[in-house]
Amino acid sequence: MEKLAFTEQKTSNKKIKIAEDMFVSAMLAIGIFLCINSFFGLNYSIENGLSGNFSGGLVKTWNVIADSIGRSDYIILTKYAGAGESSGLFLTIFMLLLIVLTYFIVKAKKPLLLLVYIIPLMLIDLLFQLKLSGTCAVFLCITSLFAVIHMKSETDFLRNLLIILCVGLIVYGSMEFINADSNNHRPDFIKNGQEKLEEIYTDAYYGENPLGNGDLTKYKRETSDETALTVVMEKPQSVYLRGFTGDVFTGNNWRSLSDAAYYSVKQQMDWFKEDGFIPEGQIGQTDSFTSENYEEGKISIEVKNADKSFAYIPYEIKEFKDGDMPQIKGGNYAAAEKYTRLNRYTYVAGDSVTQRWTHAVAKFYTEPSDSKELEQYLVDESHYNQYVYENFTYISDQHKRILEREFSPEPDLEKNHVEYRLAIKKIKEYLDENFIYTDVIEKTENTSKSAFEMFMSSGRGYDVHYATAAVLMFRYYGIPARYVEGYLITPEDAEKAEAGKPFDITKENAHAWAEIYIDGAGFVPIEVCPDEYVKMKQADINVGLSNSVLAEEFITNERGIIENKATSNGGQQKSHPDWKWLSALLIPLILLIILLVYLFMKVFRKLISGVKRRRLFLKGDPKEAVSAIYAYIEEKGYPLENHVVETGNKAAYSLQSIDENERIFMIEALKKSKQQFRKNRKSGKSI
């Protein structure tokens, strides 16, 4: 028997299904869009949703993405001209296209196609250091789950929506309660585990650094006669080869400035490069202005068993020539591009100046030149000088108190830093007289003190500890300083080496030292470990450093380093309790409003449909009314008697007329069928 179709009801159900698919698609697409917006900081809002134009918005969006990746991972992407003031219109169109594409996926009931969205988002989170809001992540997970259930399940849409909404509220509320959005609130064992895994991965991929990249917590200094570097020099000479540079001290280890800090000054560093100013080889450049016998030569490095995330470069470097090309970050150090390694490279460097840098500086200031090159150098140095003082003079109040207690009273730095010669002399004397150099330090159960504080109180440590103390002491004196690890090519190594032929540098030559910035001249190494005084020839600090020209006005660094600008309130995140609770309720509130609107529309449509149906049953043409009543009974699955079936088929398929009595009969039959259906269902449940 053919089923009688009730056209009006069928059309209504189809519209409802389309509305349900559109709702699911819109929610999922919005979740994806919010994640993209959060990852790249697109700052999209409803207020600017129609601002700007499409092409200008496209360029602006790309440039914002390039800046975000540059700040998070120092991956340099090309930025384009023609960006508009706002990208609102472009992003709105992009979001609408996402909704349309998602609608076709939902309508096709192909959940696997959602991986087209999910996989790229997962890769972005995995490969880059971009931050994803916990709110956006939860919203995307909930909407994705809802979409899959909707596509795979034939159960009631409203019930699924209510379940997902409840799950979302529970998860989001729990997340806010434990502050899951903030890494600072993760348990220590989780953070320690993550750091350990990162260390294992880094050592396996890049190679191990025997000094640990500024890690003061190691109880034993690693040493080995294993080959670290194979070096070829056109002119063999003794040099310091810088690798890791530590800018920010935590108490237990050193860290470089963030990629965001380096990226913020990249344009300035590019300008320096165009002008011929070389921050990473500044002292060598200074020497080139006044040295009568200045010469340059190539140095080739092949990394054997050393950390390949850095290029090992001397203070006299001029430019890279061949091989793996590193990125010069902030004029600080040469680093590998993300996910690459620096295996072999060649650069040009000037004559070694680190053993006579005081003479070079004195000559630079006492024998001025009128060349345009020097004039431009001094202009660029004045800008770089400000960057140096803003980033490399910071010392925490805690470490100031330690040095004030253990080292010397805090100096008056209102106008100038302490004179270079006096600072170097006092720091070396203090370390020589009060500390014992040892490769093995005693383990302690006192975990309340930092590794630096333990070194200052115990008086025992190795070059990592000595260099750390020296850097903090120089900063305490107002002199910009950095912690450096790398390898030494000693005078003995240089004497044995032959020009143009490879020679090996072992891990025994790994070393940590301090470097300070000499105003106008650049960073220079300062040796504070007693054993290295003999290995590496030291500059005579009684020459050049007393020149009053070098007494550069000290720039007080009240802001701290660039790294801490966002958290200048003692390193803690700013607290916004009102916004926290508002944000905790915002997404659920939006979902609740959407749900209420949906429920209202659904109930309203049912009411309208019921009114129209009742009017047709009672007052419509008898033939149409009987057909509609029969179709409704079939649609609801109510039990049918033979006479009801015959009357319904008569109204639907025959040319015979239907009178008022038959209409009344079908209305009564509908009532009886409904009652019987309810009775059967109730009886079935009780069984």
How does pLDDT run across 416-435, given as a tens digit for each residue?
Answer: 899 999 999 999 999 999 99
Q: Which residues contact 228 (CB under 8 A, 6 or more apart)?
A: 303, 304, 305, 306, 487, 505, 506, 507, 509, 510
CB-CB contact of 345 with 323 (8 Å):
yes
Rg (CA), the chain: 37
Q: Is 147 exposed, middle or buried (0-12, 13-18, 19+ CB in 10 A)?
A: buried
Amino acid 684: pLDDT? 60
Q: Which of the four pLDDT bands, split at 50, 70 and 90, describes residue 160?
A: low
Amino acid 10: pLDDT? 53
Q: What φ, ψ does residue 352 adopt, rounded to 5°?
A: -60, 125
pLDDT exceeds 60 at position 546: no
pLDDT exceeds 80 at position 251: yes
pLDDT exceeds 80 at position 180: no
Which of 182-196, 461-475, 537-551, 591-605 is the least confident region? Answer: 182-196
- Per-residue pLDDT tens for 220-232? 998 888 999 999 9
CA distances from 92 to 36, 218, 582 (A): 13, 53, 25
Amino acid 343: pLDDT? 95
Percent of the chain with pLDDT over 70: 82
- Per-residue pLDDT tens for 52-77? 898 899 999 999 999 999 999 888 88
CA distances from 649 to 451, 480, 669 (A): 92, 97, 15
Find the DSSP H helices in 109-184: 115-127, 134-152, 157-177
CB-CB contact of 251 with 325 (8 Å):
no
- Bridging pattern class, strands 510-518 and 239-246: unpaired
How far apart are alpha carbons 270 and 380 in whole angstroms? 11
Amino acid 173: pLDDT? 57
How far apart are alpha carbons 52 and 64 in whole angstroms? 15
Q: Residues 20-42: what's their mean pLDDT?
A: 89
Q: Residues 446-453: what's their mean pLDDT?
A: 82
CB-CB contact of 451 with 252 (8 Å):
yes
Q: Which of the four pLDDT bands, split at 50, 70 and 90, describes residue 6?
A: very low
Phi-psi region of 67 (alpha: psi -120 to 50; beta: other; left: phi over 0): alpha
| Alpha carbon 241 to its chain's center | 30
Q: What φ, ψ does residue 180 adopt, rounded to 5°?
A: -65, -15
Count of CA atoms in the C-beta half-sphere (13 A) of 451: 21
- Per-residue pLDDT tens for 200-219? 777 788 988 889 899 999 98
Amino acid 566: pLDDT? 31
The two structure tokens encoding residue 622: 């008898």
Q: Which three-class secondary structure state does DSSP give residue 154?
A: coil
Selected residue with higher pLDDT from 162 and 361:
361
CB-CB contact of 639 with 680 (8 Å):
yes
Q: Which of the four pLDDT bands, split at 50, 70 and 90, describes residue 16?
A: confident
Indicate the average pLDDT of the chain.
82
Amino acid 590: pLDDT? 59
Per-position b or e across 232-269, b if 16+ CB within 10 A of its CB: bbebbbbbbbbbbbbbbbebebbebbbbbbbbbbbebb
- Per-residue pLDDT tens for 318-357? 999 999 999 999 888 899 998 899 999 999 999 999 999 9
Domain boundaries, the chain: 7-185, 201-564, 620-686
pLDDT exceeds 70 at position 11: no
Q: Which of 403, 397, 396 is nearest to 563 (CA)?
A: 396
Count of CA atoms in the C-beta half-sphere (13 A) of 254: 27
pLDDT exceeds 70 at position 4: no
How far apart are alpha carbons 537 and 237 in whole angstroms? 12
Q: Residues 446-467: what's their mean pLDDT?
A: 89
Q: Which three-class secondary structure state does DSSP give residue 238?
A: coil
pLDDT exceeds 50 at position 686: no
Amino acid 8: pLDDT? 52
Q: What's 567's DSSP letter? A: G
CB-CB contact of 522 with 279 (8 Å):
yes
Q: Which of the four pLDDT bands, split at 50, 70 and 90, describes residue 560?
A: very low
How far apart are alpha carbons 237 and 343 in whole angstroms? 22
